[in-house]
Amino acid sequence: MPQLIKPARLRPGDTVGLIAPGGYTSARAIDKALRNIESLGLKVKQGRYLREVFGNYAGSVEQRVADLHAMFLDPEVSMIWPIRGGSGCISLLAHLDYDLIRRHPKILLGYSDISALHLALHKHAGLVTFHGPVASSTLTDYSREHMMAVLADPRPQYTIPMSQENAKQALSQPHFGIHTHTHGAASGTLMGGNLSMVAALAGTPYAADIGGSILFLEEVNEAPYRIDRWMTQLDLAGGFRNAAALVVGICENCGPEHEDLSLTLERTLGLHLHPLTIPAVTGYSIGHIRNQCTLPIGVRATLDTNAQTITLREAAVA
């Protein structure tokens, strides 16, 4: 893997490149993204193919790659912000110019299907990228505070607490609650993203580097048996025991579907986390939720299960 490189910090008035590297988008989502960007005191430049539709993708592979490359090359653009995840980012990986991206390092922020880009750019460009809201997300005080602290305010150490709003929501929706399977503190490189995408890349040249990492995973709209399959695949490929810690975010709408018999999400995750001797937790403020934190891929951090915090041990931007 190339030596780690950090993008320049985000500054007031900077220009954000708005693209759709995965699923197709809509005029309504674009309007929301524009409002989000302007509310942060930033300018926007829309990708040439932002409004393209090719099946359920936002244009062909060639069009989506062209928009991503163009934003990295554009000297006016400081941050690249996908409008949504969806599906299709995995198809871009073999077509990206990683040397070009490394020569023009910029902030890339997003979650869900964007996880494919995060893992590939970490492995082949050595670029620190950011797992956090997409441009059309509903930004809350919590998500905005921790996003801007990580992107715009480089500090040698920054502690991210879990969302109190999520804790309140856990009173009526138990999967929003934090469950510690193995207590402790551990340090390592932040690594991970959407579970199905991290599992899909296992065994490929773009696989997540699990060894010694604080591995974080999240999922949405998937039945427990699929969660079990992907967790098993990932464990067989990389070995959860080789990580420094394992953190599972809030997996929204991942209960049993129409199966006559099914394990719950909690029991399914427990099958994989409970046997571990490394710190292992579920219910952290990561995933397809409004109150989500922003985590820089490739940056050293410490998980503390007693304090329920993730502390960045270095600045993620230059």
Neighbours of 298 (CB within 10 A): 23
- Tell me how many degrees the CA angle 65-72-1 measures, rounded to the nearest 5: 85
Strand, helix or coil at 263?
A: coil
DSSP bridge partners of 295: 131
Q: 147 with 24: CB under 8 angstroms?
A: no
Residue 172 identity (one-letter amino acid): S
Tell me which residues are annotated as active site: 112, 218, 288
d(CA 210, CA 204): 13
Residue 135 structure tokens = 């441009």
Element (H, E) at 245: strand 245-249
Strand, helix or coil at 176?
A: helix
Tokens 């509310």 -> residue:
39
Neighbours of 273 (CB within 10 A): 22
Q: 303 with 214: CB under 8 angstroms?
A: yes
Instruction: Please report, in angstroms and rounded to a whole number, the separation of the first and last CA atoms in the chain.
Output: 20
User: From its phi and psi, is residue 110 left (phi > 0), alpha (psi between -120 and 50) or beta?
Assistant: left
| Helix residue ranges per DSSP H, the chain | 27-39, 61-73, 98-103, 115-125, 141-152, 164-169, 195-201, 224-238, 265-273
Residue 262 identity (one-letter amino acid): S
Q: 280 with 241: CB under 8 angstroms?
A: no
Residue 88 structure tokens = 């299709």
